[in-house]
Amino acid sequence: MTSLQLARRNAWRKPYRTLLLMFCVAVAILIYGLTQSFLAGSQGTGGASDNLLGVFNKAGRSQSLPMSYLGRIAADSDVAAVSYMARMRGFAGTQSNVVMTSAVDPRSMAAVNGRELGLTADLLAGLDRTRDSVLVGKALAQAQGWSVGQRIGVTAFQMTGTNGSRDWSFEIAGIFEGADASTDTYFMIARYDYINAARAQGKDMVDGFVVRPRDGVSPGVLASRIDALFANSAAPTRTQSEKQFLEAFIRQFADIGLIINLVVGAAFTTIMMIVINTMAFAVRERTFEIGVLKTLGFSRGRIMALVLGETLFISVIGGLAGLAGAKCATMLAGPALGLSLTPLVAGKTAIVIIALGLLGGLLPAVNAMRMPIINAFRSR
Amino acid sequence: MTGTIGKEPYIEIRGVRKGFSFGAEKVAIFSDLSLNIARGDFVAVMGPSGSGKSTLLNMLSGIDRPDSGKVRIGDSHLEQMGESAKAAWRAHNLGIVFQFYNLLPMLNTAQNVELPLLLKPLSRRQRAERVDTVLDLVGLDGRQKQYPASMSGGQQQRVGIARAIVTDPGLLLCDEPTGDLDCKSANDILEMLRLLNRELNKTIVMVTHDPEAAGFARRTLHLNKGEFTEQFQREPEDLAPQPHRDEAMEQGVARQ
Ligand SMILES: Nc1ncnc2c1ncn2[C@@H]1O[C@H](COP(=O)(O)OP(=O)(O)O)[C@@H](O)[C@H]1O
Ligand SMILES: [Mg+2]
């Protein structure tokens, strides 16, 4: 037997209670891990870039801007690269199966955020091959079960072709993976020249420009300078970083987000309090036995370590189960829901697990450590 | 008759005052208690309930401290020592046997006995060997894996004794070690304590209600109203025949 085994023995004194505690910890950690994964994922702002600026119509993102703005934006010496895009909202098969397509100029797109999206030279060459080639994001391809070389049909909600149809056909030239797990890859990239030539309305209009500022340039300063360029034109612009936009966007749903946060937070806190309280109670129950250990010559430090070892044992076992559950969830449903259990999230969760074990044990451990043996014996 | 063998007594209690307060009221247990115990002695402490017998033992084990006065055991002045120093001292010098055994229910016999050894720099194997040795000594060999709940009181008390002696301490403190046992088991335990005293030269202080139990000690102290009212020194002839008695006594003297 070792001190660690002794702590484990103590923890298993009431197996039912211990299992229940571990289960509670697992659920709490699952909740925590999923919430954090969501925030770190593509639906949160975690993966959003602070470096890229988006130039959109001030009247709203659904309004377009003239292509002619491109030259004036590119002329600013603080702009390293600029690209443009038109977005096509559509669906594949059923209406609820929404598919977003960004029609871009591949060359300038690659210069602006090719690295973030993981656009390799091979992928770009594939896009060049035929006019209706598309690159599909990994998350989207996985969700739809699409593969390279496949011909797919997307029905646009609005955009009609010159032939009067809203059905668009594309050939998948490649699949882009994104620079890391938190990159949103639930969309596809088509060629602007093809879409622009084939659409009936809105020719030579774009939904926005994407700007990469030069290194060392303040994105905020550049953004206001760009907006100033077009302030007195027919279509004034609003320039924001992707992150700013997403944050503003998420804030639109503030009440829903707040409710989710409150419910999740309340559940998490409640479980934590139950766990901490129960662990504290379990230790207090053994005041007498701790007194016995002290008479055998166990020092205060050892008693403290023993109690903390026991609560840590419970929280680590339960916590790892919860973390494993969160990992499974992000792997099974992750891409579509934009969940991403990054190493950072896993690290934060590990800290929560340790903190829980220490918190649950600390108060009773300090009490156990301090209590005079004589009182411990009179507790019976 | 001071009970001292040799010049410096092993245990020295001098001028101890101790009381407990119940709210505003302060009740004195001892106002001026003094006592010497020689190394190798086996002392029984008797007295009415509430006379302070346990309090005396608690001060000897360092789990309670006197309000004033001196409690010295060997070179250690317990009244001056801090909690961690006393814990370390207990780990090396002291074994305690309790009336209700105080075994940890989730540990089996071997693990209960091993507990104090966790505080020593011993390998797993060395610990196991020591545990087996003392379990053999108390007649529990082969019961290593048995749990306290499935043992009789007498057996549990043997485990308690094994745990108290596994670190080979010089001093054993026993608070009513037979108070919860039937006659036969009590006798076995008392025989064992006598053996530990005679053969292994353990100094033993045993609190008991039972005059027969006290009969196993070398001498008996009566505690009443905070004082030792009577010291009854058994004559050697009164003792039950002990084959190695004289030898043990000599060793006791020699070690002073
Ligand atoms: N920790 C304590 N707090 C208050 N009173 C105590 C405490 N320990 C003992 N006493 C009181 O001191 C007296 C002596 O107790 P104790 O030493 O246990 O007696 P004995 O063991 O001889 O029966 C009793 O009246 C008891 O109530
Ligand atoms: Mg008592």
- For A59-108, the pLDDT digits (tens) are 887 889 999 999 999 999 999 999 998 989 999 988 888 899 999 999 88
- Return mean pLDDT, chain B: 87
Out of A234, A264, A289, pick the residue that ends a domain: A234
- Of the listed ranges A374-378, B111-115, B214-218, the least confidently predicted one is A374-378
Same domain membership, residue A88 and residue A38: no
Q: Whose CA is nearest to atom 26 of ligand 1?
A: B50
User: What phi and psi, each to the nearest 5 degrees, are found at residue B99?
Assistant: -60, -45
Pair A169, A265 in one domain: no
> Domain B42-67+83-255 adopts which CATH fold?
Rossmann fold (3.40.50)
For residue B46, is pLDDT > 50? yes
The pLDDT-based confidence of A191 (bands split at 50, 70, 90) is very high
- Residue A149 region by backbone torsions, left for phi larger than 0, else alpha for psi between -120 and 50, else beta: left
Ligand closest to B55 (CA) is 1
Predicted confidence (pLDDT) at residue B181 exceeds the cutoff of 60:
yes
Do the strands B227-233 and B219-224 form a parallel or antiparallel pair, or are they unpaired? antiparallel
Distances in whole angstroms, Cα of residue A233 to Cα of each of A56, A58, A174, A225, A236? 14, 11, 39, 14, 6
**Tokens 């804030």 label which residue?**
A251
pLDDT tens readout for residues B12-40: 999 999 999 888 888 899 999 999 999 99
Element (H, E) at B44: strand B42-46
Can you give the pLDDT at residue A152?
Answer: 94
pLDDT > 70? residue A28: yes
Contact criterion met (CB < 8 Å) for A298 and B87? yes
Q: Rounded CA gap, A128 and A147, in Å?
A: 18
Residue A363 confidence (pLDDT): 81
CA of B197 to the centre of ligand 2 (A): 22
Number of domains in chain A: 2
Q: Which band of pLDDT confidence, cut at 50, 70 and 90, is reported for residue A218?
A: confident
- Best of B78, B118, B120, B168 to disrupt the A interface (most A CBs within 10 Å) is B118
Residues A88 and A230 reside in one and the same domain: yes
The nearest alpha carbon in chain A to B131 belongs to A1
Report the pLDDT value the prediction gives residue A257, as an integer from 0 to 100: 56
3-state secondary structure labels for all residues of A308-320: HHHHHHHHHHHHH
Specify the range with the lowest mean pLDDT, choosing from A133-137, A244-248, B73-77: A244-248
Q: What is the dihedral of CA A162, A163, A164, A167, to 10 degrees?
A: -100
Contact B87 A10 (CB under 8 A): no
Model pLDDT, residue A286: 80
CB contact under 8 A, B84 and A296: no
Return the ligand 1 atom nearest residue B53 CA: 22
Instruction: Check pLDDT > 70 for residue B6.
Output: no
In a domain, A50, yes or no: no
Both tokens of A6, joined, read 């002794």
Q: Which mutation among B17, B18, B22, B29 tests ligand 1's pocket best, with the greatest number of atoms within 8 A of CB?
A: B29
B184 close to B212: Cβ distance less than 8 angstroms: no
User: Which ipTM did the prediction report?
Assistant: 0.83
Residue B230 vs residues A315, B79, B240: alpha-carbon distances, Å: 58, 26, 22
In terms of domains, do A29 and A95 share one?
A: no
My answer on whether A262 and A202 are in the same domain is no
Of A12, A297, A377, the CB nearest to B88: A297
Structure tokens at A80: 């390293």
Exposure pattern of A203-231 as b/e (b: 16+ CB <10 Å)?
eebbbbbbbbbeeebebeebbeebbebbe
Residue nearest to ligand 1 atom 8, measured at CA? B55
| Local confidence band at B254 (pLDDT 50, 70, 90 cut-offs) | very low
pLDDT of residue A50: 67
Confidence of residue B177 (pLDDT cuts 50, 70, 90): very high
How far is the C-alpha of A34 from the C-alpha of B50, rounded, in Å?
Answer: 61
Helices (DSSP H) in chain B: which residue ranges? 53-61, 83-93, 109-114, 124-137, 153-165, 183-200, 211-214, 245-254
Predicted local confidence at residue A255, as pLDDT: 52
Q: Say if residue B56's pLDDT is above 50.
A: yes
pLDDT tens track for B188-198: 999 999 999 99
* Residue predicted with more confidence, A245 or A355: A355
In a mutational test of the B interface, the residue from A286, A293, A295 whose CB has the highest number of chain B CBs within 10 Å is: A295
- Residue A140 lies inside a defined structural domain of this protein: yes
Q: Is residue B2 within 8 Å of residue B36, measured between CB atoms?
A: yes
Chain B CB within 8 Å of residue A302 CB: yes
Residue from the list A2, A9, A296 with its beta carbon closest to the beta carbon of B116:
A296
Instruction: List CB contacts of A281: < 8 A, sequence separation 6 or more.
Output: none
Q: Whose CA is nearest to atom 18 of ligand 1?
A: B54
Domain contains A344: yes
> Are B20 and B27 a contacting pair, CB within 8 Å?
yes
Pair A206, A106 in one domain: yes
Residue type, A320: L
Helix axis angle for B183-200 and B245-254, nearest 10°, is 50
Q: Quote the CA–CA distance of A45 and A51 in Å, as a whole number.
A: 13
Q: Is residue A324 part of a domain?
A: yes
pLDDT of residue B234: 60
Contacts of A301 in chain B (CB under 8 A): 84
Task: Name which residue sits closest to atom 21 of ligand 1, judged by CA.
Answer: B54
Structure tokens at B193: 């304590």
Return d(Cα B214, Cα B42) in angstroms, integer: 10
Looking at the structure, tell me whether residues A68 and A209 fall in a common domain: yes
- Residue B189 to residue B164: CA distance in whole angstroms: 13
Q: Identify the pLDDT of residue B17.
A: 95
Q: Three-class SS of residue B60? A: helix
pLDDT at position B135 is 96
Asked whether residue A250 carries a pLDDT value surpassing 90, the answer given is: no
- Measured between CB atoms, does B85 come within 8 Å of chain A? no
Point out the ligand 1 atom lying closest to the alpha carbon of residue B51. 22
Task: Tell me what pLDDT residue A252 has.
Answer: 54
Determine, for residues B106 and A295 on separate chains, whether the beta-carbon distance falls below 8 Å.
Answer: no
Q: Domain containing A117: what range?
A: 64-234
B143 touches chain A (CB under 8 A): no
Instruction: Report, as an integer, the average pLDDT of B85-97.
Output: 95
Dihedral in degrees, nearest 10, Cα atoms B192, B193, B197, B203: 160
As a whole number of angstroms, the distance between CA B238 and CA B234 comes to 6
Asked if A287 and A359 sit in the same domain, the reply is: yes
| Cβ–Cβ below 8 Å for B84 and A373 | no
The tally of CA atoms less than 13 A away on the side-chain side of residue B148 is 18
Domain boundary among the residues A200, A234, A268 is at A234
Option in A2, A293, A374 nearest B64 (CB): A374
Q: What is the pLDDT of residue A369?
A: 81
Output the pTM of the full model. Answer: 0.66
**Residue A216 backbone phi and psi in degrees, to 5:** 85, -5
CB B134 within 8 A of CB B113: yes
Shortest-distance Cα residue to atom 13 of ligand 1: B50
Nearest CA in chain B to A13: B106
Q: Which of B94, B104, B165 to mutate to test the interface with A (most CBs of A within 10 A)?
A: B104
For residue range B223-232, list pLDDT tens digits in order.
Answer: 988 888 766 6
- Widest distance between CA atoms in chain B: 55
Taking the CA of residue B56 as reference, the ligand 1 atom at the shortest distance is 17
The residue whose CB lies within 8 Å of the most ligand 1 atoms, and thus the one to mutate among B18, B20, B60, is B20
**Ligand 1: which residue has its CA nearest to atom 9?**
B55
* DSSP single-letter state for residue A119: -
Report the atom number in ligand 1 closest to the C-alpha of B47.
Answer: 22
Contact between chains at B63 and A3 (C-beta distance less than 8 A) = no
Average pLDDT of B63-88?
94
Contact B63 A295 (CB under 8 A): yes
| pLDDT beyond 70 at B247 | no
Domain identity same for A169 and A307: no
Residues of A in contact with B115 (CB under 8 A): 6, 293, 296
- Does residue A41 surpass a pLDDT of 70? no
Residue A336 has what pLDDT? 56
pLDDT at A48: 56
Which ligand 1 atom minimizes the distance to the CA of B64?
1
What pLDDT was estimated at residue B195? 94
A298 and B114: CB-CB below 8 Å?
no
User: What is the pLDDT confidence band of residue B251, given thresholds at 50, 70 and 90?
Assistant: very low
Phi and psi at residue A156, to the nearest 5°: -75, 145
Q: What is the mean pLDDT of chain A?
A: 84
Whole-number pLDDT of residue B186: 92
Instruction: Check residue B70 and give its pLDDT.
Output: 95
The Cα A304–Cα A65 span in angstroms is 67
Record the tokens describing residue B39, joined without a space. Answer: 């190394």
Q: Whose CA is nearest to atom 1 of ligand 1?
A: A374
Same domain, A226 and A341: no
Best-predicted range by mean pLDDT among A89-93, A242-246, B42-46, B223-227? B42-46
Residue A222 sits in the same domain as residue A94: yes
Report the pLDDT value the prediction gives residue A244, as an integer from 0 to 100: 67
Q: What lines the ligand 1 site, CB under 6 Å?
A: A 374, 378; B 20, 29, 47, 49-55
Window from A57-66, B163-172, B240-249 with minimum mean pLDDT: B240-249
CB atoms within 10 A of CB B184: 9
- Token pair in block for residue B185: 């088991």
pLDDT-wise least confident of A37-46, A276-285, B102-111: A37-46
Interface test with B, best of A6, A10, A17, A296 (most B CBs within 10 A): A296
By the 8 A CB rule, do A110 and A176 touch? no
